[in-house]
Structure 1
Amino acid sequence: MLNPVLLANDPNHGHYVPAMIYAGHVYVSGTLPSVRETDAVTAETPFKDQMQQLLRNCLDILAAAGSSEQKVISFTLYLISLDDWDVANDLLAAFFGSHRPARAVICVPQIRKGYAAQATLVAAV
């Protein structure tokens, strides 16, 4: 059975849910570094701050699904500039600690609202 994951105080931004649970896994939708209740993080926010907020958003979704960063199986990060690779890599290493999920970093020409990063992931529940 499919079980959608919803977040409190998260306005509906489109025809999707933040994540879907199926067969013991949570599939997280494309996640941006936005702060749900405000515009505190924008495209002009420094990359490191965007990335830290993006990871906090991923944690919120994982927690709502009954999972954690230590159960992430696969993590895909989309960047608009590979110049941000080193900062992203350091933040991901700190985020995951000794846990090392499968990972891909893909450079794309554009991300919604002009953000510098977006992520999708799959984790065990």
Structure 2
Amino acid sequence: MKKVITIPNAPAPIGPYSQAILKNDTLFVSGQIPLDPKTGELQLSTIQVAAHQVMKNIKALVETAGFEMTDVVKCSIFLKSMDDFAEVNEVYASYFKSEPPARETVQVSKLPLDVPVEISCIAMR
């Protein structure tokens, strides 16, 4: 059975997709951008602020689905500029203290709402 997972009181996704889907013991989290779910505003003052907001959104979805960040097995990071790699990596690492998930990081030409970073993940029990 498939279950849609959303962050409580979050703005609706900006396209025809779910924030996350739980299927059996696997959680698929759609790409998250630095959108504050409480205010609906983008958090873009610095790349670190943006990355923290993305990771907070991921953490909220993971926990809403009954998982923990240690259950995340795969992440995909999309950067508008690879020049932001070190700063995003530092923020990302703070959410995965040990045994970090597999991942890739790629530079892309443009992201939704022209944000500098987007991250998706998969978690499994």
For normalisation by structure 1, the TM-score amounts to 0.91
- For 2:5, give the aligned amino acid: V
How far 1:11 moved relative to its partner?
2.8
Number of the residue aligned with 1:4: 4
Cα distance in 1 for residues equivalent to 2:87 and 2:79 = 11
Counterpart for residue 27 of structure 1: 28
Which residue of the partner structure matches residue 94 of structure 2? Answer: 94
Structure 1 residue 7: Cα displacement: 2.3
Instruction: Give every structure 1 segment of 4 or more consecutive aligned residues whose post-TM-superposition deviation is greater than 3 Å.
Output: 39-43
Please say which of residues 10-19 and 87-96 is displaced more in the overlay.
10-19
AA matched with 1:117: V
- Cross-structure match for 2:79: 79
2:115 aligned partner: 115
- Cα-Cα RMSD: 1.4
Q: Is the 8 A contact 1:74 1:101 kept in 2?
A: yes
Task: Number of aligned residue pairs: give it.
Answer: 124
**One-letter identity of the residue aligned with 1:100:** P
| In 2, Cα distance between equivalents of 1:90 and 1:38 | 25
Please report how far the alpha carbon of residue 39 of structure 1 lies from its aligned counterpart in structure 2 after TM superposition.
4.8
2:42 matched residue in structure 1: 41
CA distance in 2, matches of 1:47, 1:80: 11
TM-score (norm 2): 0.91
Give % identity.
23
Give unpaired runs (5+ residues) of structure 2: none
SS at match of 1:96: coil
Name stretches of at least 5 consecutive residues in structure 1 with no aligned partner: none
3-state secondary structure, aligned to 1:50: helix
